Amino acid sequence: MILAGINRNYVPAISLGITQIVGYGALYYAYAILLPEMAADLGLSLTAIFGILSLALFVSGFLAPVAGRLTDIHGGRIVMTFGSLAAGLALILLAFVQGKFGLFFAIMLVEAAAIFVLYNVAFASVARLDLTLPTQRSISIITLFGGVASTIFWPLTLLLYRALGWETTWVILGISVIVICVPLHYFGLKGPLKDLTATPEHKTSDWPELTGAARRRGMLWMVISFIFSGYLMGAVMTLWVTNVQDLGHTAAMAALAGAIIGPFKTVGRFLEMLVSRNMYPLITYALSLGLMFFGFVVLLTLGFTLPGVILAAALYGMGDGIKTIARGTLPLALFGAKGYGARLGWISFVQMGINASAPFAFAWATQSFGGWWSFAAMALCLCCAMATYIFIPDPRKPTHDSPQDRRLPENI
């Protein structure tokens, strides 16, 4: 097997890294290429077809706490193996849709399965395995691989569509998920699980958990900031090509510029890995927001030129790549490993319940006002994320909670 010569402690992270490339490429990035083409063939507007995607994302979000809880209890091996099988079959079903109701049902099945195979469950899976490799490092490795998903799948999906049509493209993507992800999840996540009730969780002295009232404030402001910073993620995945075309570029050039995002996600994550031992996740998250924001500044001012759109994609990619790590490590740092999967699930549930409207909202903005204004609205979301970030308590600093506050339940 391809993973046979790798240290056992690295096998889960590398396996999951490969499956995240295929998972995000087939389950998210393919929409940017195929949904606009499907809209034309199915007689739907751009707003309508992305509205269907938004509704499907909202419905599927109810499963996020379930996926997290199952991973906490059973580990990720079975959860992700069956999830990837279901995801592949659902992608194949997309090839046979005839109308808006069939499209909604198929996308809902795809996104419901995606809940069980993408980053949140992957992070919780490595946190549950009994490995000597720190969870933070495993998360960094997983996201390091996942960064090239757009680089591979935007051009690949466009190539397949032009050669074979969207129906055959969905079938190929579904088969790819089954053939690649199912065995990697089953064999790559094999191993004993940590007993979190009997074994003290490994922590560094610099990573104390939030307690008392600060714990509640931390969860509130972190989730709000995550909502704002994540609101544009689905829109960028699905509308990047359309919006960049609206700035005056061809579809091929827009896809090429979008493909730049992936390598720079990897660059950002690689740089984070080099300094992650000394960088607290709150700092990591702030860095990611800053890079993403400057990417949009460049896009809004210079995006009409080829160098401008490529530079914007690079900056956004670095920031988004680092943000993905922070999305996994910040809750771990602030609240600890016990119940980590379920916690990520509930955070994802809240985010998806709100962020599911993003593809529809930004597609409406694109159709009504143009791609530039759609990108401007995304930049505004980042401003809100940065404004709410400053209210997240830092557990390394002395707090002024009263003794009564410290006795408050901390099982958030």
Q: What is the pTM of this model?
A: 0.77
Neighbours of 287 (CB within 10 A): 20
pLDDT, position 51? 82
CA dihedral sign of residues 115, 116, 117, 120: positive
The letter for the amino acid at 155 is P
In 3D space, the residue among 153, 71, 90 whose CA is nearest the CA of residue 328 turns out to be 71
Structure tokens that stand for 284 in this block = 């990591």
Domain-embedded: residue 404 = no
In a domain, 3, yes or no: no
The answer to whether residue 405 sits within a structural domain is no
Q: What is the dihedral of CA 13, 23, 108, 49, to 10 degrees?
A: 140
User: Can you give the pLDDT at residue 61?
Assistant: 81
Average pLDDT of the chain? 85
Which structural domain range is residue 174 located in? 11-194+207-397
Output the domain CATH number for residue 95. Answer: 1.20.1250.20
Q: How far apart are CA 319 and CA 341, in angstroms?
A: 24
pLDDT band at 342 (very low <50, low <70, confident <90, very high): confident
Q: What pLDDT shows up at residue 196?
A: 61
Counting Cα atoms < 13 Å in the Cβ hemisphere of 60 gives 26
Residue 379 within a domain: yes
Which residue's structure tokens are 């080099």?
A: 274
Average pLDDT over residues 358-368: 84
Most confident of 183-192, 205-214, 269-278, 351-360: 183-192
Tell me the mean pLDDT in the region 392-408: 61
3-state secondary structure of 193: strand
Per-residue pLDDT tens over the stretch 252-280: 888 788 878 878 888 888 888 777 666 88
Number of domains the chain is built from:
1
Beta carbons within 10 angstroms of residue 55's beta carbon: 17
Residue 412: inside a domain, yes or no?
A: no
Task: Summarize the confidence of residues 190-210 as an average pLDDT.
Answer: 64
In a domain, 97, yes or no: yes
Look at residue 338 in the predicted model and tell me its pLDDT.
80
Q: Is the pLDDT of residue 368 over 80?
A: yes
- pLDDT score recorded for residue 313: 92
Inform me whether the pLDDT recorded for 22 exceeds 90: yes
Using the predicted structure, report yes or no on whether residue 152 has a pLDDT greater than 60: yes
C-alpha to C-alpha distance for 261 and 155, rounded to whole angstroms: 12
